[in-house]
Amino acid sequence: MTGVAELSAIEAFLRRAPYLHTYELGDLDPREAGHTTWIARDPIDAVVLVYRGLATPTIVALADGEGDTAAAHALVAELAAGGELPRRFNAHLTPGVEAALAERYQLELLGHHRKMGLAARVAGEPGDGTGELIRLAPEHADEVARFYAASYPASYFEPANLVRGPYLALRDAGGIAAIAGVHVYSPALRVAALGNIATRPDARGRGLARRVTAALCRLLQAEIDVIGLNVRIDNAAAIACYRGIGFELRHSYDEWRAVAR
């Protein structure tokens, strides 16, 4: 684990590309200190985050540019060779960095993704036309888990998510119709990454995901400067939805599942 001064240097490095590193910046929040291990050389040319706040650890190694990609590859290879990574983890990697794991881990590609960043403030007031919007709380955890099981089985939702940051839902006669939440939320670092955005299958096509996501952005932007999200590159409907709110496509990355050989 790096010390305080090193964390300051890591933050400065990550802020060079804030929409690439939104997750990592949010995980610098002191509330996440017990879940995070930061690894970087001195001087910093790449950063690897090991995040253990969910049931399966996540490794993040993202690079902006060819030189940074080579540095990230070298650092991940060094950690894998030294046995410093978990035996099983999910990974967010810049394309090409996964090769650093291939010798020692079985890799399963979970999808090609893009990072998106909110380019401008979302207009309107949080209460405009949102009578059925609710702020989710821990007591909603069972209902939310059932919603994701039916609407978004691949989501990374765990009940702890409802404590870490705001989740909004739209209800209709059938119950929860759409949810937008956050994977990362740090007013201290003024960054947030949206996640677990989904619509109940029979409620799709009504613009509910856009509405609940826009409402969440309006809620967040009072205290957050950098709002980003991740999206699969083959999810054209989601990309169109987010663009309609004001998000722009930024960086490419891949998600992997890794298991030690």
Segments making up each domain of the chain, as ranges:
4-115+256-260, 120-245
pLDDT tens sequence across 93-110? 999 999 999 999 999 999
Cα-Cα-Cα-Cα dihedral sign, residues 29, 31, 33, 36: negative
pLDDT tens sequence across 169-192? 999 989 999 999 999 999 999 999
Distances (CA, A) of 27 to 60, 132, 153, 159, 210: 11, 32, 25, 18, 26
Q: What percent of the chain has pLDDT over 90?
A: 83
Please report the pLDDT score of residue 131 as a whole number: 43
CATH numeric code, 120-245? 3.40.630.30
Give the pLDDT band (50/70/90) at residue 20: very high
Q: Return the number of other C-beta atoms located less than 10 Å from residue 205's C-beta.
A: 8
Please report the pLDDT score of residue 129 as a whole number: 46
